[in-house]
Amino acid sequence: MYLPRQLIAHLYQQLLRTHHPLSPPVLILVALEPDALCACRILTALLKRDYIPHKIQPVAGYGDLARAGEELVKPMRTTNGGSGGVVICLGVGGLVDLSEILCLSGEGEDGEEEEDMGGVEVWVFDARRPWNLANVFGGEGRPAGEGDGVNGLGMGNGNGRRKMRGVERGCLTGAYASGNGGIVVFDDGDVEEDMAREREAYCELLAMPEVDEGGEEDEEEEEESEGEEDADHPSSSDSKKRKSWSRQDDEDESEDEDGPPRQRRRSDSGSYIISSPSRPRRTAHDSSNSSRSVTPTSDSPSPLQPKPPSARTLRKRLLKMKRKHEAVLQRYYSSGTSYSEPIASLVYSLASELGREDNDLLWLAIVGVASLELSGRTMSGVGVSNALEYGGSAGWGGERGERIRQILRDEVLRLNPPDPYERDRDIRGEINGIIQTTARSPTDKSIRLSPEPRFILVRHWSLYDSMLHSPYLASRLHVWTENGRKRLHKLLAKMGISLNQSHQNYTHMDMELKRVLRQRLLKYAPMYGLDGLVPAEASGHAASREGWGFVRCWGWKACLSATDVGVIIGAILEVGPEEAHGMWDAKRASRPALDASADGSTESDLAHLLPRFWSAYDALSLTSESPTLLQASLPLAQHLHRAILRTGTSLLAKHQIRHLRAFRIAVVKDGPDVKLFTNPGALTKLALWVAEAIRVQERERGETVKIGRRRALGTPLVLAGLDEDRGLYVVVGTGGGGGVVDFAALAKRREERRKKKEAKDAKRKEKEQRRARRAAERAERDEDDDEEEDETEESSSESESESEDEQDVSSNKHLLRNRFGIAFQEVVQETSARVRIDSFEHCVVEVQKEDLGGFLEALSFRSVVG
């Protein structure tokens, strides 16, 4: 089920009304990422204000999520002696069937799967896409006192599906009352606006009776034998067709039920693989009821009424509809991964709807949005941001992301009105673009807008180091080469900044240089291809500040930008506080290796990552007077970005990036920072740095392909980091950004579509010839007309689907998505490579050291963008 954006506070208000001192605590499952951490801080602040007890459980991957379901969620079910409750998933489980992985469904007394959630209600906040449609349009709990397929009046529903009050085709309305359990997805607008076709297909498949697709050849043989029978016995022929239909229904009821869309299944390596759907999950009771509701009766039709279509014709129509709806779901799942609105801003919308917004919660939402930009999570999946070149910030989400940032800027101006006595000074400072480094007073804790350049930690580093470690500037100046360093020096010289001044800490630079820095960057940066280094100028206080960043001060103690906080929180999670105390080797030795035992299970990494989670959680504290922990972790962030520059420079300067058929590949297996990049987050940032450099090089060489009205640019990148202690490689696949074109996959799709069309044409001609031979012998012209009409409809629908496929392939949206997660799963299923897929980022896997070569070879023949 899904909760529309306009009703975002509906469930929370019901929780307030039904909560009492004996209620079980709310269980919060949080992913180990900055966006989820910020959302968790906002949500716990709301729960504390309303005196609602809660428990926070960090989750590192699908293995930890399954253990949390077994140990924490399952005992909450009323069927297991619990009292129900609420489980909130932040950045967790949006891509899998949560009813199964959280142990919310089991087997009843008759051995059939039951969907009684046991009074456990799961709220899902997740920015990853595609959704698992079993959570979005299914996941209904069992109302108290209601049986399967029976409504509250004791009457069975027409399609055998339970009808819950306040639920309309998976959508919650204002009449919905919580307490019965279920899975509720908080919609950020995607479901209501963009998933009407998927919703229709899912609901139609759920209401459709079971049909076996393997009997087409038997039907053709039966069709030929019918033509040889005596035409004087049409009733006998009809009886045989009806017996065949009923026999097929019996076989369908005896077969195992299909799994839900994107159902999680256990792989040989112990990871959780997401498989593509054939149809939504149904209970045996639903199947039998639905089958009986459409089975033709044995009564003969009235001579005055048109003859009803035969059972075989009905079955063919049903199969055609089933395939059509399954194609819609398959196209949705196979389009690749992407990201929608950050969950921190979605939870802030909940706080705003409740009237609880303040500066602290707004700041957390801003940091969550900034963290998504830093980690390369875009509308086309993990990859180089497809930002406008003239923008200031990295630019998440295109136009939609800019709308979200504009809302945040409006919130900043609303909650932080300027001082009327200092209004003129503030306007002049914003117009001149002075980077704010100090507060306006000892008690100033306001949030301000600032024209932030694309530098890293500029307030806490020297200007030279900040520019050198900026991915945007480094890729365009080619700082990994000697000529690139010289271009950086020339840029500083043209702006009138000496190397001595640029190597000082930015806060200690000459005040006049800091005042004119923005104007000189706007003047000289375009000479070096750095048009988007700083945001556009604002013309007055009411002008749009597109690309501007956010800065917050804590009196005279500290001044940090949202990007600074995102960089620091990410470094705590990716490097860890143990690095600062020299305990890296001890911690690394305690981590488990990729086990190849009989059960294929591996120990959890959560024990290793738990200190990092709580360190980052404490660093975002809302009660401290100053961000002491954030300032103490600045060396971690600087260490990480120095390592990214060193390793990326080594890969590019030594030409260690190879171009395979569908992507580029690089391996980090030696050097001083090799252990640092065994963390998926740090490895992803290195991959984004390298991918940005490759994209700029391709653009300078003119390696672009025009698609529609846009130009496709960039090549997907696979980066592997060696973990010598565990004997494996951590592998991440990123998109190239700007509209990625996988030429090998594109050619393969065209060839498959051509062969498929030829096979359909040949089959259609064969059927037409066979129908022509039997036309003179058949006595039932009405049935023949029905079949011809059905064939015409089928051929027209096939041509329409082919034209839709052509439009999808030619559209820019189809070519942008990151499909590495799907490609990884295909390789695992078809090869014997020992691979662990446990991360919520499906483009991140762990491969045994000896199997990397075969894994990459098989991957090169897969479609990695779509």
Burial of residue 556 (CB within 10 Å: 0-12, 13-18, 19+) is middle
Q: Are strands 728-734 and 717-723 parallel, antiparallel or unpaired?
A: antiparallel
Amino acid at 811: S
The pLDDT of residue 39: 96
Which domain, by its residues, includes 498?
339-575
Same domain, yes or no: 555 and 650:
no
How open is the CA angle 712-713-719, to the nearest 5 degrees? 130
The pLDDT of residue 750: 64
Same domain, yes or no: 402 and 510:
yes
Tokens of 836: 């662990």
Q: Within a domain: residue 628?
A: no
- Helix orientation angle between 34-49 and 562-574, rounded to the nearest 10 degrees: 110
Q: Within a domain: residue 223?
A: no
Amino acid at 661: R
Same domain, yes or no: 533 and 649:
no
Q: Return the H-helix or E-strand segment holding 314.
A: helix 311-333
- CA distance linking residue 581 with residue 575, whole number of Å: 12
Same domain, yes or no: 571 and 719:
no
* Helix/strand/coil for 834: coil
- CA distance linking residue 648 with residue 475, whole number of Å: 10
- CA distance linking residue 483 with residue 249, whole number of Å: 74
- Are 791 and 767 within 8 A, CB to CB? yes
Q: Which DSSP category does 742 fall into?
A: -
- CA distance linking residue 558 with residue 565, whole number of Å: 12
Nearest CA to 385 out of 339, 341, 346 is that of 339
The pLDDT of residue 576: 81
Our CA dihedral for 190, 194, 199, 201, rounded to 10 degrees, sits at -140
Amino acid at 574: E
- CA distance linking residue 105 with residue 564, whole number of Å: 43
Domain count, the chain: 3
Residues 6 or more apart whose CB falls under 8 angstroms from that of 315 comprise 211, 245, 248
Sheet order of strands, 558-561 included? 447-450, 549-554, 558-561
Same domain, yes or no: 564 and 685:
no
Same domain, yes or no: 377 and 449:
yes
CATH number of the domain at 113, please: 3.40.50
- CA distance linking residue 567 with residue 560, whole number of Å: 11
Share in percent of the chain as helix, strand, coil (round to 5): 50, 15, 40
- Are 721 and 677 within 8 A, CB to CB? yes
CATH number of the domain at 676, please: 3.10.310
Which stretches of the chain drop beneath a pLDDT of 70?
A: 106-115, 141-163, 213-306, 385-398, 421-433, 537-544, 578-605, 624-625, 703-714, 736-750, 776-816, 865-866
- Are 27 and 55 within 8 A, CB to CB? yes
| Last residue of one domain, picked from the residues 189, 210, 231 | 210
The model's pLDDT over 561-575, given as tens digits with 9 standing for 90+, comes to 999 999 999 999 998
The pLDDT of residue 601: 40
Q: Within a domain: residue 238?
A: no
Tokens of 649: 């420079």
DSSP result, 162-211: ---TTEETTEE-TT---SS-EEEEE--SHHHHH-HHHHHHHHHHHHSPP-
Q: Within a domain: residue 235?
A: no
The pLDDT of residue 264: 42
Same domain, yes or no: 485 and 388:
yes
- Are 317 and 308 within 8 A, CB to CB? no
Partners of 57 in the β-ladder: 29
- CA distance linking residue 747 with residue 744, whole number of Å: 5
Partners of 184 in the β-ladder: 123
Same domain, yes or no: 820 and 730:
yes
Q: Where are the alpha helices (DSSP H) in 83-130?
A: 98-101
Residues counted in the chain: 866
Phi/psi of residue 38, nearest 5 degrees: -65, -40
- CA distance linking residue 159 with residue 145, whole number of Å: 20
| Last residue of one domain, picked from the residues 533, 553, 575 | 575
Q: Return the H-helix or E-strand segment holding 90.
A: strand 85-90
Looking at the chain, the number of H-run helices and the number of E-run strands are 32, 27
Same domain, yes or no: 548 and 696:
no
| Last residue of one domain, picked from the residues 553, 575, 597 | 575
Query: Is the preceding peptide bond at 130 cis, omega within 30 degrees of 0?
Result: yes
- Are 593 and 604 within 8 A, CB to CB? no
Same domain, yes or no: 422 and 522:
yes
Provide the 10 A C-beta neighbour count for residue 126: 25
- CA distance linking residue 648 with residue 693, whole number of Å: 9
Q: Within a domain: residue 158?
A: yes
Q: Within a domain: residue 565?
A: yes
Same domain, yes or no: 568 and 654:
no
Q: Within a domain: residue 222?
A: no
- Are 525 and 534 within 8 A, CB to CB? yes
Q: Return the H-helix or E-strand segment holding 328.
A: helix 311-333
- CA distance linking residue 721 with residue 736, whole number of Å: 19
Q: Are strands 705-707 and 710-712 parallel, antiparallel or unpaired?
A: antiparallel
Tokens 């459409």 found at = 294
- CA distance linking residue 500 with residue 464, whole number of Å: 10
Q: Within a domain: residue 450?
A: yes
Q: What is the pTM of this model?
A: 0.80
Our CA dihedral for 721, 722, 725, 726, rounded to 10 degrees, sits at 80
Same domain, yes or no: 555 and 672:
no
The pLDDT of residue 52: 94
- Are 592 and 726 within 8 A, CB to CB? yes
